[in-house]
Structure 1
Amino acid sequence: MTSQASRQNPRSAGKWVGGIVFTFFIAMLGALLAKIPGLHHAGQLACAIIIAIIYRQFFGYPEVLRSGITFSSQKLLRLAIILYGLKLNIDTVFHDGLGLLLRDAVVILFAISVMIWLGKVFKADKHISLLLGVGTGVCGAAAIAAVAPIIKTKDEDTAISVGIIALMGTVFAIGYTLIEPFLPLTPTDYGIWSGISLHELAHVAIAAEPAGEDALAIALLAKLGRVFLLVPLCFILIYIMKFKNKSEQTQNKVAFPWFLLGFILMSLFGSYVLGNTVPISENTMEGISAATTWILTAAMVGLGLNVSLKDLRSKALKPLLAISITSLLLSVAAYFII
């Protein structure tokens, strides 16, 4: 019995490691694909998810590697969210971005409310609608990844939501750059508009960079305010889920997302310790940022491998229509509150 268990454990460990390596391998393919002209706007994350979904359709789910893939889609996902906290400089938000926080809060409330309402109108999946509302209002894939465990979303629904948000954000970011020369806005106003209305941090950078350094700086600051508001939003959703379970007299417990505390601690550490008490070079910070992207990409590959195209056809079209309208309305509304 003991000898048999000892033979099985190395095999299990090998499958676990193999599954993790497999997700990083597809993440690497996604990074290479994203370097192709025309696809670089979509980004490494979206390209990797596309590859993972295509792999699943042609070769099926790699069951032998399930333990490692699951580890990537769950544990590494939470690690990426924690590390993502280093991107949020709380000190900058408090000192320079307080005036933008109110507009950021309005944007988040608007995006979630409209997306949920349109989801009901089009009879779209309610979990995907909520995830897309949060992703549109806050910070794209990172926000979706943070909220998904709280509302207990299926892995395939999370992956579908991330894919849609990447597509929509890319389309709108490119659209912003095309119409920017014709808008009666100063670079600062254009930067604020981009920062409070576009989906991902990368999308904000793509849209604001052509307008100059001032536009890019204020755009990123406005976007950081939305990232900052992810924390209170998650706690609000925790309370809503607990109240919902209690009113429905269900026994489902809402697990506290401890990774959010890690996100907060990393934000505080990056804002007040790194560069002050603990010196750190710009190259090191860029390395940490790149590692965060790779970890998040590998996690999303794990989610993408759970997507069935049959479900994608039946689940994605209605949310895609709803988020298209929501994003357009958000852009128009944000334009008039800058």
Structure 2
Amino acid sequence: MGSLHERFSASGGSFHRVAQSLFFLMSLLCLFTGISSAIALMLGIILAVTLGNPCLEMAQKAISVLLRLSVIGLGFGMSVQQAIDASQNGFLLTVTSIVFTLVLGALTATRMGLTRHAGQLISSGTAICGGSAIAAVAPVIKASPRDISVALGVVFILNSVALIVFPPVGHWLSMTQEQFGLWSAIAIHDTSSVVGASASYGPEALAIATTVKLGRALWIIPLSLLMAVISGGNVRKISIPWFIGLFILAMLANSFIPGVEMFSDDIVEWSKRGLVLTLFLIGSTMTRDLLRSVGFMPMAYGIFLWVAIALSSLGLIMY
């Protein structure tokens, strides 16, 4: 017997209509029913693996826009003092973890059989902010489409695992919200899963994780400059994460402009729903083709770096 995907594919247009209907139905469920981030992600993965994603290109474009809008909206639920406190607590840990991950990655990539560019992309994604870091560094070092695809596949898969695994581990270790917020901001790859995991843990964890993670994302700029110097790349292709500036403006408005509090709760609520939809869309990109494209050694390398940064940062935070 063939796979579910193959049996549906035999019916041609009807398969596409079924898959498309399920895609939009699940999208609406994620946006309006209040399901958790982890469940939304799993729904996306199940759809992608069983039926495929009939709207893959649209989903990939929507992920970037929705994530940025959701993060900006979350700024209306935070105060400047919260951001200052979180930044002070997380700055040294951020710098230490970035340097540690990049150095460890550089020392082990070729030993594990990776190309130089694939190693640079995976270590950059692990050190800073997942897919955003990979997208920023790739044109600077002139990475090949194959290396970019592999790096994104590794980071997206591990990012999805982290969203599901981290909250239970945090509860098992009796971590405070502050501890969990710091840990998730340091050890989870993409901003989407950092916010999703910390939001399920509590409001303080969410505030700390979002602020520290966005501060971490700013390190894309010096990292890209460094990679350009090392690889002889094009400095003009360095991208700046502009949405972080809008997040700061939203936070300032929430802290200092009278009357903003009248609608800030609604903005934050819809931003969280937008994030849940974003995670469903991310899950829906985990197609069979993506999973096959990764390969064993790049995945092993990504797991090695991820476990190293997760355990070392956990030790620093807890002890």
Normalized against structure 1, the TM-score is what? 0.64
Q: Verify the 8 A CA contact 1:83 1:263 in the aligned structure 2.
A: no
Question: In structure 2, which of residues 144, 148, 151 is the aligned counterpart of residue 154 of structure 1?
Answer: 148
Q: Is 2:56 the partner of 1:69?
A: yes
Give 2:182's aligned amino acid.
Answer: I
> Cα distance 1:106–1:307, how it changes in 2: closer, same or farther (>3 A)?
same
* CA RMSD after TM alignment: 4.0
Structure 2: tracts of 5 or more residues without a match: 1-15, 139-146, 189-193
What's the counterpart of residue 259 of structure 2? 276
Tell me how far 1:268 sits from its aligned partner: 1.6
What's the counterpart of residue 65 of structure 2? 79
Question: In structure 1, which of residues 218, 225, 228 is the aligned counterpart of residue 214 of structure 2?
Answer: 228
Give 1:333's aligned amino acid.
Answer: L
> Cα distance 1:272–1:179, how it changes in 2: closer, same or farther (>3 A)?
same
Tell me how far 1:129 sits from its aligned partner: 2.6
Question: In structure 2, which of residues 48, 72, 80 is the aligned counterpart of residue 94 of structure 1?
Answer: 80
Question: In structure 1, which of residues 34, 39, 44 is the aligned counterpart of residue 40 of structure 2?
Answer: 44
Question: In structure 1, which of residues 252, 261, 266 is the aligned counterpart of residue 242 of structure 2?
Answer: 261
Tell me how far 1:76 sits from its aligned partner: 1.9
Question: In structure 2, which of residues 162, 176, 180 is the aligned counterpart of residue 194 of structure 1?
Answer: 180
> Cα distance 1:172–1:277, how it changes in 2: closer, same or farther (>3 A)?
closer
Alignment map for 1:165-204 (pairs within 5 Å): 165-180=159-174, 190-198=176-184, 199=188, 200-204=194-198
Tell me how far 1:30 sits from its aligned partner: 12
Tell me how far 1:291 sits from its aligned partner: 2.8
Question: Equivalent residue of 2:130, what SS?
Answer: helix
The CA deviation string for residues 16-41 of structure 1, in whole angstroms up to 9 with x for no partner, is xx89x949818928978xx9xxx978
Tell me how far 1:329 sits from its aligned partner: 1.4
Q: Is 2:204 the partner of 1:218?
A: yes
Q: Verify the 8 A CA contact 2:72 2:247 in the aligned structure 1.
A: yes
% identity of equivalent residues: 11
Give 2:57's aligned amino acid.
Answer: T
Tell me how far 1:105 sits from its aligned partner: 1.9
Q: Verify the 8 A CA contact 1:144 1:161 in the aligned structure 2.
A: yes
Tell me how far 1:48 sits from its aligned partner: 1.8
Provide the aligned length of Structure 1 versus Structure 2. Answer: 275
Normalized against structure 2, the TM-score is what? 0.68
Q: Verify the 8 A CA contact 1:24 1:294 in the aligned structure 2.
A: no
The CA deviation string for residues 228-284 of structure 1, in whole angstroms up to 9 with x for no partner, is 304522322333344345xx2x56851535xx3244225424651698359527445
Tell me how far 1:305 sits from its aligned partner: 6.0
> Cα distance 1:234–1:116, how it changes in 2: closer, same or farther (>3 A)?
closer
The CA deviation string for residues 124-159 of structure 1, in whole angstroms up to 9 with x for no partner, is 65122321222xxxxxxxx32322320127244223
Alignment map for 1:278-297 (pairs within 5 Å): 279-280=262-263, 282-283=265-266, 285-295=268-278, 297=280
Alpha-carbon distance in 2 for matches of 1:162, 1:299 = 8
Alignment map for 1:121-136 (pairs within 5 Å): 121=108, 123=112, 125-126=118-119, 127-134=121-128
The CA deviation string for residues 277-299 of structure 1, in whole angstroms up to 9 with x for no partner, is 59527445423431343245325
Give 2:284's aligned amino acid.
Answer: V
Q: Is 2:318 the partner of 1:320?
A: no
> Cα distance 1:156–1:279, how it changes in 2: closer, same or farther (>3 A)?
farther
